[in-house]
């Protein structure tokens, strides 16, 4: 019996995530110069990947 496609692991599906983790958002804001060390990590601005 085969496994339904919706039950496969996320890595095998190859779908692109549309939500960034906090550390990914901080990295983008650092690169733009909108975030410095010591700034708060809660309530970050929205970013586009």
Residue 24: predicted pLDDT: 92
With 0.75 as the threshold, say if the pTM is over it. Answer: no
Residue of 45, 10, 12 whose CA lies nearest to 29:
45
Residue of 4, 41, 16, 8 whose CA lies nearest to 26:
41
Q: How many CA atoms lie within 13 A of 38 on its CB side?
A: 0
Domain residue spans in the chain?
17-49
Q: Whole-angstrom Cα distance, residue 33 to residue 18?
A: 23
Residue 46: predicted pLDDT: 86
**What do you get for the CA distance between the two ends of the chain, in Å?**
39
Q: Is the pLDDT of residue 48 over 70?
A: yes
Residue 10: predicted pLDDT: 61
| pLDDT tens digit sequence for 1-37 | 788 888 877 666 567 788 889 999 999 999 999 888 8
């Amino acid at each position: 019996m085969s496994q339904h496609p919706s039950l496969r692991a996320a890595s095998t599906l190859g779908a692109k995530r549309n939500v960034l983790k906090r550390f990914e958002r901080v990295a983008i804001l650092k690169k733009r110069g909108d975030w410095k060390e010591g700034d708060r990590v809660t309530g970050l601005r929205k970013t586009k990947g």
